[in-house]
Amino acid sequence: MQIKKNVLSCALTLALSAGMAFSASAKTVLKLSHNNDKTHPVHISMQYMADEVKKLTNGEVVVRIYPNSQLGTQRESMELLQSGSLDMAKSNASELEAFEPSYGAFNIPYLFHNVDHYYQALLDPAVGQKILEASKGKGFIGLTYYDGGARSFYADKPIKSPADLKGMKIRVQPSPTAVEMIKLMGASPTPLAYGELYTALQQKVVDGAENNQTALTLARHGEVAKFFSEDEHTMIPDVLVIGQKSWDKLTPEQQKALKKAADDSMMYHKDLWQKMIAETTKEAKDKLGVEFVKVDKQPFIDATKSMHDAAKANPLLKDYIERIDTLATK
């Protein structure tokens, strides 16, 4: 009798162990890499997305976020993602242009008239959503966008016109469009990883950079660049992407849940971003002594008009640019 009990106990233990093993293997863990600090609105919004995914899938899909370039730069993360060594990454339209040309539509200077126009394009099925799907077959799929604000110049002097950029080395993202824009404005474009920029500004390797206001405080660039010139030349979205191999491992229900969580986090981010910009601007002024300079945008628009014309003549971008222009009149 005792032997029989022991056999049953052993069988039960094995069954429970097998059940636990099955449960553990049923959980899918997605590693997400990005280059921002944990206090950055994009990180907070992606954490919101991760929490929503967990809820919607009853814990079947878990997103683990690795900030501060722990798993590599944005470009390195994209390469890892395409090979299947990484599941998800936050990049932006500038860097993604090198992997999928359609993202170049968002990089044209002075394309968007205001924030409302910008969001109309991102949410439009024929623009934003179509571009997210354009990379299918290239190793990754776009899930959603995060507002990256309007990018402006910052340096150790005011930049009020393209003439002020003459002879300056300006850090840009590794994007063909960004490089062309800076050349047309009269400066020397210098592609550089974001994590290296503080030291580059400090040691005068570059004379200035271009980004939104959060760079001044969260990356402490306001310590080494005291003038933020509000020319607002581009509004380039951050983009949340997932590797094709990782996407294909998910069930259709899990894919739907991940897409919904991502889209919901985009709108969560919209309000968070506006609040952050207001707080960042105040902090940069009050604590770091950064001077915000109002700029007449027309000379910058004129200097880069050829890029808008070229984009409309490009078969890959023509439909996107024309649709974005049309949205501005609605």
pLDDT band at 11 (very low <50, low <70, confident <90, very high): very low
Q: Is the pLDDT of residue 118 over 80?
A: yes
Q: Is the pLDDT of residue 3 over 50?
A: no
Query: What pLDDT shows up at residue 177?
Result: 86
Q: Is the pLDDT of residue 113 over 50?
A: yes
Distances from the Cα of 170 to the Cα of 30, 179, 192, 206, 302, angstroms: 36, 10, 10, 6, 19
Query: What pLDDT shows up at residue 2?
Result: 45
Query: 104 and 177 in contact (C-beta within 8 Å)?
Result: yes
Q: Is the pLDDT of residue 219 over 50?
A: yes
What is the residue-averaged pLDDT of the chain? 90
H or E segment to which residue 225 belongs: none
Give the strand order in the sheet containing 291-294. Answer: 188-191, 169-172, 208-211, 150-155, 227-235, 291-294
Query: What pLDDT shows up at residue 193?
Result: 85
pLDDT band at 212 (very low <50, low <70, confident <90, very high): very high
Q: Is the pLDDT of residue 1 over 90?
A: no
pLDDT band at 8 (very low <50, low <70, confident <90, very high): very low
Q: Is the pLDDT of residue 211 over 70?
A: yes
Query: 122 and 145 in contact (C-beta within 8 Å)?
Result: yes
Tell me the average pLDDT across 255-266. 97
Tell me the average pLDDT across 187-202. 94
Tell me the average pLDDT across 33-58. 94
Query: 174 and 167 in contact (C-beta within 8 Å)?
Result: no
Percent of the chain with pLDDT over 90: 78
Query: Which carries the bigger pLDDT value, residue 288 or residue 214?
Result: 288
Q: Is the pLDDT of residue 23 over 80?
A: no
Tell me the average pLDDT across 279-295. 97
Query: What pLDDT shows up at residue 16?
Result: 39
Superfamily of domain 28-328 in CATH is: Bacterial extracellular solute-binding protein, family 7 (3.40.190.170)
Q: Write down the domain spans for the chain.
A: 28-328
Query: What pLDDT shows up at residue 26?
Result: 59
- Name the nearest CA neighbour of 324 among 146, 102, 134: 102
Query: What pLDDT shows up at residue 53?
Result: 97
Residue 35, judged by CB atoms within 10 A of its CB (0-12, 13-18, 19+), counts as buried
Lowest mean pLDDT among 8-22, 88-102, 126-140, 232-246: 8-22
Query: 68 and 100 in contact (C-beta within 8 Å)?
Result: no
Query: What pLDDT shows up at residue 20?
Result: 39
Backbone angles phi, psi at 57, to 5 degrees: -105, 10
Query: 90 and 239 in contact (C-beta within 8 Å)?
Result: yes
pLDDT tens string 79-104: 898 888 999 999 999 889 889 999 99
- Name the nearest CA neighbour of 97 among 138, 155, 47: 138
